[in-house]
Structure 1
Amino acid sequence: MSSEAQKLHASFPSASFPRRFVSWVYDFLVAVAIIMLASALALLFAALLTTFSWLVLPEGMDHAAWLAQGPWYSLYLITVVAAFFGWFWKRSGQTLGMRAWRLKLQNYDGSRLTSRQVFIRLLTCCAGLGNLWVLVDVKNRRAWQDYAAQTEVVTLSKEANQLFYWNEL
């Protein structure tokens, strides 16, 4: 991004709680779809293991029960969802919900997040509950994860959102 574009993106207002919330709902629905797809792939993997007799399930246990019996399946799903959010935050600063509601995650100067900042946000966002802090921090309108990662979420104008999107493609 050019320095002129960075100045443009650094000058937008902080995102309000209602806008963050509707973006979170949108992204939650996308995350549910991704979890469903990841679960289908995990079930397919378990079915292939049993088909080739590499895995023999105990009597009365199905593939879903086998997946759910240890921590690995939960860790797998958490990793898939974290990779989804992390990739969008790192690549463009906008998830699908953020794009729809004209929100952008950025550094204070308008630049993209580093991998370290993305990781910190993933650890501190509390599945989106960190955004509730925006209701308390009325002046700055920043969430826990914003403070922890030293980032901000801004509301883009319609024009800037379109311009930003097409420049990223």
Structure 2
Amino acid sequence: MTDLSSLPKAGFLRRLGALFYDFLIVIAIEMIAAGIVIAVLQALMKFQLLNLGPYADIADLLDNHPIWSHVYLLYLVVVWVSFYLYFWGKAGQTLGMRAWRLKLIDKQGNYVTNIQIIVRLISSLFGLANLLALFGKRGLQDIIARTEVIVLPQAN
């Protein structure tokens, strides 16, 4: 068994490739999550359990209501964070990272904790913190969360 912490660190282009793959997947998941909310609200309207009041339609309600717009945004953020909590917590890899043979580990070569994942997501600045990897193969989020992104060897 290979000591994971001894494997090479991921550079900027590999990180960018995985980030792009994951971006497409997360957008699709967010669209499904949004569709679920809209379907539920439509059903509530159909059975007259929801009155839109001054709002023209459901999109207007979700965009402009002083409470619902914030609840909806929080819901979408929770969906986004859950994607990373699940994949990084379960295997240290998102689907994009798997395609690029990358893995997220802690400094000792173990799986990362949920706290490290949350800290990493907050400090990633939506991927911009990876720019630091241009200079040292570690993103700002890796330094702050005490994690590393490694390149896995090719399977035989």
TM-score, L = length of structure 2: 0.91
Contact in 2 for aligned 1:86/1:122 (Cα 8 Å): no
1:1-60 Cα offsets, whole Å, 9 max, x none, are xxxx4x522211000100000111100000110111011001011112212222111366
Q: Is the 8 A contact 2:55 2:61 kept in 1?
A: no
Identity of matched residues, %: 39
Q: CA deviation at 1:92?
A: 0.7
2:51 partner SS? coil
Tell me by how many angstroms 1:132 deviates: 1.0
Pick aligned residue for 1:9 from 4, 29, 43: 4
For 1:105, what is the secondary structure of its paired residue? Answer: strand
Give the corresponding residue for 2:46: 51
Q: How many residues are treated as equivalent by the alignment?
A: 152
| Greater CA drift, 56-65 or 84-93 | 56-65
Name segments (4+ residues, structure 1) moved above 3 Å.
none
Residue 126 of structure 1 corresponds to 125
| RMSD of equivalent CA atoms | 1.5
Tell me the residue number matched to 1:116. Answer: 115
Gaps of 5+ in 1: 163-169
Structure 2 unpaired stretches of 5+: none
Secondary structure of the 2:3 match is: helix
What letter matches 2:99 in structure 1? A
Distance 1:59 1:79 in 2: 28
1:63 aligns with 2:58: yes
Residue identity in the other structure for 1:101 = W
For residues 28-47 of structure 1, the aligned pairs below 5 Å read 28-47=23-42
1:146 maps to which residue?
142
Partner of 1:76: 75
